[in-house]
Amino acid sequence: MKIKTCLLLQLTFLLAILCSSVSAQTSDFPNHPIKLIVPIAPGGGTDIIGRKVAQKLSDVLPQSTFVENKAGAGSLIGTEFVAKASPDGYTLLVGGLFNMVMNKALMKNLPYDPIKDFIPLGYISANAFVLSVRPDLPVNSLSDMVKLMKDKPGQYTYGSAGIGTLQHVWGNILADQLGLNLIHVPFKGAPQAYQEMMAGRLDMIFDNVAASKTYVQSGRLKGLVSSGEKRSALFPQLPTINETGLTKFQGESWFGIFAPANTPASVVAKLRQALVQVNKDPEFISLVEKDGGRMLNISAADQQGFLQDEISRWVPLVAKSNVKID
How many degrees, rounded to 5, is the angle at CA 188 between CA 150 and CA 198? 55
| Per-residue model confidence (pLDDT) at position 246 | 97
128-244 and 34-126+252-321 share a CATH fold: yes
Q: Which CATH superfamily is domain 34-126+252-321 in?
A: Bordetella uptake gene, domain 1 (3.40.190.150)
Nearest 10 degrees: CA dihedral of 153, 158, 164, 170?
A: -80
| Per-residue model confidence (pLDDT) at position 59 | 95
The tens digit of pLDDT for each residue in 133-181 reads 999 999 999 999 999 999 999 999 999 988 888 899 999 999 999 999 9
pLDDT tens track, the chain, 326 positions: 556 565 556 656 555 555 544 444 567 899 999 999 999 888 777 888 999 999 999 999 999 999 999 988 878 999 999 999 999 999 999 999 999 999 999 988 899 999 999 999 999 999 999 999 999 999 999 999 999 999 999 999 999 988 888 899 999 999 999 999 999 999 887 888 999 999 999 999 999 898 889 999 999 999 999 999 999 989 999 999 999 999 999 999 999 999 999 999 999 999 999 999 999 999 999 999 988 899 999 999 999 999 999 999 999 989 888 776 65
Contact 39, 46 (CB under 8 A): yes
Domain boundary assignment for the chain: 34-126+252-321, 128-244
H or E element: which one contains 129? strand 118-133
| Per-residue model confidence (pLDDT) at position 5 | 61
Contact 229, 241 (CB under 8 A): no
Nearest partner of 92 among 133, 126, 72, 63, judged by Cα: 63
Nearest partner of 204 among 234, 218, 230, 225, judged by Cα: 225
Question: Which amino acid would we find at residue 300?
Answer: A
Q: What is the DSSP string of 217-281?
A: HTTSSEEEEE-SSS--SS-TTSPBHHHHTS-----EEEEEEEEETT--HHHHHHHHHHHHHHHH-
Q: String of b and e for 170-188 (b: at least 16 CB within 10 Å)? A: bbbbbbbbbebebeebebe
d(CA 311, CA 315): 6
Size of the chain in residues: 326
Report the 10 Å Cβ neighbour count for 100: 24
Q: The dihedral of CA 170, 184, 106, 321: what is its sign?
A: positive
Its pTM surpasses 0.85 = no
Question: What is the distance of C-alpha 103 from the center of its chain?
Answer: 11
**How would CATH label the architecture of 128-244?**
3-Layer(aba) Sandwich (3.40)
Beta bridge partners of 65: 34
Contact 254, 296 (CB under 8 A): yes
Burial level of 67, CB count in 10 A (0-12/13-18/19+)? middle
Instruction: Report the Cα–Cα distance between both ends of the chain, in Å, rounded.
Output: 61
Helices (H), the chain: 2-27, 45-60, 76-83, 97, 103-106, 142-151, 166-177, 190-198, 209-217, 241-244, 265-280, 282-290, 300-321
| Per-residue model confidence (pLDDT) at position 21 | 47
Contact 287, 74 (CB under 8 A): no
| Per-residue model confidence (pLDDT) at position 278 | 97
Q: The dihedral of CA 182, 187, 190, 195: what is its sign?
A: negative
